[in-house]
Amino acid sequence: MLFGKGLFMLPPKDWKRVHTISMRSFGSAQTKGFYPIINTVVMDYIASIKQVVKRKKNLGNISEKLGTMTSQILNCRRNKQNNNRFVLDDIFRPLSLTAICKVAFGLGDGVKIQLIQEHFNGIFSLQKESGKAAILSIIPGYMNLPFGKPLFIRNSIKALHKLSSELVMEYRNSRKSNNITNATTTDTKNLTSTTTTNNKDHIVINEKNTSEEDRKTLLKVLCDAYDANEGSLTDTEVVHNVFSFMAAGMSTTADSLSHMVLELARSKQIMQRLQKDVDEIVRKKKSIDNITWEDIDSCNYLTAVIKESLRLFPSVGGVAPRILTEDCEIDGIFCPKGSYVGIASLVAHRLEFNRVVTNGDGNIFRPERWEEDYIRRQKEGIKFPSNDYSFITFSAGVRPCIGRHMSLMEMKAVLFHLVFNFDLSLPENLEEFEHGDPRKLKFPLLTMKENVDVCISVRVEK
């Protein structure tokens, strides 16, 4: 199916090989290569939100060219009469979908990227419908039904695999014609490839003023990944892994951003402090147009806000159970070999035994705890990263999330520009935020329920 030989589907032996090869191109330093594409998508996203919120009220019916970012954002409004009020669960999906499709394939705005987005959106909108669909899909034989949703999903997967196999071949051929082999090109900075094409549907290998390293895509990274002992990935492994990376990265990042924005909209004080820190960085660089990834990454309070939101709302609520290969004792409980052991990060992050939780404040959104933690670690000489498991949103140990650096890059970039350009607030008369659980979580994926809105307005003073 969609993820067949994808990393998170693989048993330990096969996983080790694919993981070792993939990590050759997916460490934290190499991830920087994704920034130019992510930045382009974030800029388009921010400009499109601006375009929508600046529209005069009651002009909501004006149509946009289908498939553009602006038209997708128009569809995220709670109602057509109000251009400022958005459904929080929807508002980051256009960003996340476009970012992951472009990062995966590096395509221009042609027909292929639209097709890929449509298929992917179709598959993932099914996920939103209800828990019922998810339960049905694990009934043996259900996914092979020759009609309805199973048929729709199978056809989409077939089309997606065909498209991406073509792209893998196109890339491999371009590498061959430039006489570049994986074994000699693990350091892509040394590449001299000059293949360029004006066709919007082709992979952009070398754009004007951008080096090969700057235009990194998942597909290229996985095609090029090479380990002296394990070799390279096969074409099928590349295709399946591109899709598993896309699937793993789309809703997780969008849902996490929704939670962050909800928390910022709820707390004026925290948002104002974040805006102050962001403004300061922009002021130093004279203009928002001069901001680089290093500038964004230097904003410590932004990191604290993101980390705090991910602590309270890890979009993957727990680590999949592992099977113990030997007897062991966990916190005084004997666990025999063969037991399934899992960790619910949603719970572990909030309890008193978590080092960053003090005086029972585990359920409170308080980004400052990460600043305090940073100072304490420095004083106590604790090295970074330390494996104390106070933050396991991306899992931990030998098999953590491989896309964590990329996801953090996307979240940081969009939040930085979002709070610089806009004020966020909750709609008036939202009574349910005063009573009961304000977060409105939908289990088991911890996505937000559809009835939570956010108001976005253009910042007047900076």
Interaction site with ligand HEM (CB under 6 A): 7-8, 19, 244-245, 248-249, 252-253, 256, 314-316, 319-320, 393-395, 399, 401-403, 406-407
- Give, in degrees to the nearest 5, the angle at Cα 18 between 15 and 24: 130
Instruction: Tell me how far, at minimum, the Cβ of 103 lies from ligand HEM, in Å.
Output: 7
Separation of alpha carbons 296 and 38, rounded Å: 13
Count CB-CB contacts under 10 A for residue 40. 13
| Helices marked H in 130-234 | 131-137, 148-177, 218-224
Give CB contacts under 8 A, 24+ apart, made by 349-358.
349/311, 349/312, 349/314, 349/390, 349/391, 349/392, 349/393, 350/311, 350/312, 354/390, 355/388, 355/390, 356/311, 356/390, 356/391
Asked whether the beta carbons of 19 and 256 are under 8 A apart, the reply is: no
Distance CA 12, CA 19 (A): 10
Cβ distance to ligand HEM smaller for residue 77 or 412: 412
Instruction: For the chain, state the CA radius of gyration.
Output: 23
How many residues make up the chain in this entry?
A: 462
Q: Between residues 31 and 275, which has the closer beta carbon with respect to ligand HEM? A: 31
- Cβ 379 to ligand HEM shortest distance, Å: 29
Shorter beta-carbon distance to ligand HEM: residue 84 or 120: 120
**Shortest Cβ 442–ligand HEM spacing (Å):** 16
Nearest distance in Å: CB 245, ligand HEM:
4
Closer residue to ligand HEM, CB minimum distance, 77 or 240: 240
Nearest residue to ligand HEM, using CB?
Answer: 403
Of 89, 108, 88, 84, the C-alpha closest to 98 is 108
Nearer to ligand HEM, 316 or 454 (CB): 316
Q: Cβ(123)–Cβ(153) under 8 Å?
A: yes
Q: Which is nearer to ligand HEM, 77 or 216 (CB)?
A: 216
Supply the DSSP string of 277-306, one letter for each residue.
HHHHHHHHTSSGGG--HHHHHT-HHHHHHH
Distance from C-alpha of 373 to C-alpha of 352, rounded to nearest angstrom:
15
Cβ 101 to ligand HEM, closest distance in Å? Answer: 12
Nearer to ligand HEM among residue 8 and residue 374 (C-beta): 8
Torsion of CA 260, 79, 51, 306, to 10 degrees: 0
Beta carbon nearer to ligand HEM, 188 or 241: 241
Q: Considering the complex, state which of residue 46 and residue 411 has its C-beta at the smaller distance from ligand HEM.
A: 411
Least distance CB 388 / ligand HEM (angstroms): 17
Shortest Cβ 321–ligand HEM spacing (Å): 8
* Tokens, residue 361: 């404040």
DSSP code of 417? H
Pair of tokens at residue 257: 């951003």
CB 74 to ligand HEM: min, Å: 26
> Where in 4-82 does DSSP place strands (E)?
none
Judged by beta carbon, residue 115 or residue 445, the one nearer ligand HEM is: 445
Phi, psi values for residue 25, rounded to 5°:
-115, 5
- Token pair, residue 331, equals 């916190």
Q: By the 8 A CB rule, do 319 and 392 touch?
A: yes
C-alpha span between 368 and 227 (Å, rounded)? 41
Phi, psi of 448 (to 5 degrees): -85, 150
Closest distance to ligand HEM from the beta carbon of 322 (Å):
8
Where on the phi/psi map is residue 2: left (φ > 0), alpha (ψ -120 to 50), or beta?
Answer: alpha
> Measured from the CB atom, is 87 or 392 closer to ligand HEM?
392
We find the least distance from the C-beta atom of residue 401 to ligand HEM, in angstroms, to be: 3
CA distance 409 to 34: 9
Please state, as a whole number, how many other Cβ atoms lie within 10 Å of the Cβ of residue 292: 11
- Residue 213 or 279 with smaller CB distance to ligand HEM: 213
